[in-house]
Amino acid sequence: MTNSILVKVPLRISLLGGGTDFLSYYKKSTGRVLSFAINKYIYILIKELNDYFDENYRLNYFVTERVNSINEISNDITRESLSLQQYKNKLYISTIADIPQSSGLGSSSSFAVGLNLALRAIQGKKIDKNLVVRDAIDVELLRLKKPIAIQDQIAAGYGGINYIEFSTNYKDHYKVNSIDSRDFIKELTNNSLLVWTGKHRSADKILSDQEKNKDINFESLKSLSDLTEEYVKKSLSKFKLEDLANAMNESWEIKKRLSKMISDNNFDRIYNLALKSGAIGGKLLGAGGGGFFLFIVKKSEQKKFKNSMEDYKIENFSISFEGAQIINKNF
C-alpha cells in the first residue's frame, strides 16, 4: 500500500497567444498558444498521518495549517482537490518551489496539477496526463471559479514544447500539438534569459480586469491568436531567432492593450533598457503586472546584457520535457 508520494511539476513559459485560452474568447474564435515547460519546479510531498497526530490534516507551504476537516483548510486548491479526489484518510502535505508564487510562471496551476496527481497515486487511482490536467482545470475553474484560463494546467501536465489550440469543438476544449524541433529548442534555450522585475503580483486581479473588457478586447485577442498561428505555421520550421523576437515584441504590444494593469512605466523602462542592452525581443510573462520578463538575447550579447542589467536578477533555463511526474513513493 502506498502511504507517501513525492511529485515534481514544471513551471511554464507562455511564449505567444496567452489570453486566447479563455472560454469567453475561444467559444467565439479558435484560441492558440505556444508554450513550454521549464526546469524550474514545484515539489509536493503527501504522506498519510498515523493516529499519533491529533489533527487530520497538516499542511506546510508558506504557512502551516493544522485542521480536522477538509472544509477548514484555508488553501483553496488543496481544499477543493481533496474534495474532488474524495480523500478520507489523515494526510500531511508539504510544498516547496524553485521560484516563488505570483511570478508569471503558472505556479498555482502547476500546484493544482501536481497535488491531484499525488492524490490519485496515493489512492491507486488511474493516472494519465490528460486526467490530471482535467482535474486541475476542474478545481481552479469549475469549483473555485478563478478568473484564469487553461493553458497553464496543460503545460504543467504535458511538459515539453506545445502548440495548443482551444475550441469548444474539441473534447475538453483543447488540442495539444507537441513540437519537436531541435533548432528551435537549441536556439531558444541558448539565446533567452529570464529577468526578474522584483515585483510579485496577483494574477487574479489582472485577469479579472481583462475579462471585464472581453468584448472590447476581442480583436486584440484575435490578433494574438492569428500571430501565434502564423508564427508556428510559417516560421517555426525554418527557425530564425529574429522572427521569434519580432513575434514576441508584437505580442507584447498587443497584450498591453488588454488591461491597464498589465504594464506600467517601470516595466516599460525595464523593457527599453533590455533592448538597449542587447536584447532583440521580449515580453512580460503570465498575466503581467510583475514577475519575469523573457528576453531574446543572442549568446554573443549576453555578457554585455548582464552587465547592463546588473540591478536585476537574471535566470537561465532549459526546457523540461517531462510533465508532472512521481519521483518517489513509500519513502
| pLDDT tens-digit readout, 90-146 | 999 999 999 988 888 999 999 999 999 999 999 999 999 999 999 999 999 999 999
Chain length of the chain: 331
Distance between CA atoms of residues 16 and 207, nearest Å: 17
- Let me know how many helices (H) and strands (E) the chain has, helices first: 11, 12
Q: What is the pLDDT of residue 255?
A: 93
pLDDT at position 203 over 80: no
- Single out the residue of 46, 39, 27 nearest to residue 99, CA to CA: 39
Q: What is the pLDDT of residues 13-41, one digit of tens each?
A: 999 999 999 999 999 999 999 999 999 99
Domains observed in the chain: 4-180+320-329 (3.30.230.10), 182-315 (3.30.70.890)
Distance between CA atoms of residues 19 and 295, nearest Å: 20
pLDDT at position 285 over 90: yes
Q: Is 328 exposed, middle or buried (0-12, 13-18, 19+ CB in 10 A)?
A: exposed
- Single out the residue of 108, 136, 127, 122 nearest to residue 42, CA to CA: 108
All three cell numbers of 140, joined, read 481552479
Distance between CA atoms of residues 135 and 113, nearest Å: 7
Q: What is the pLDDT of residue 78?
A: 98
Q: Which residues contact 266 (CB under 8 A, 6 or more apart)?
A: 197
Mean of pLDDT values over 147-159 = 95
* Inter-residue contact 253 to 213 (CB < 8 Å): no
pLDDT at position 9 over 90: yes
Q: Is 62 left (phi over 0), alpha (psi -120 to 50) or beta?
A: alpha
> Cα 40–46–47 angle (5° rounding)?
150
Mean of pLDDT values over 272-285 = 97
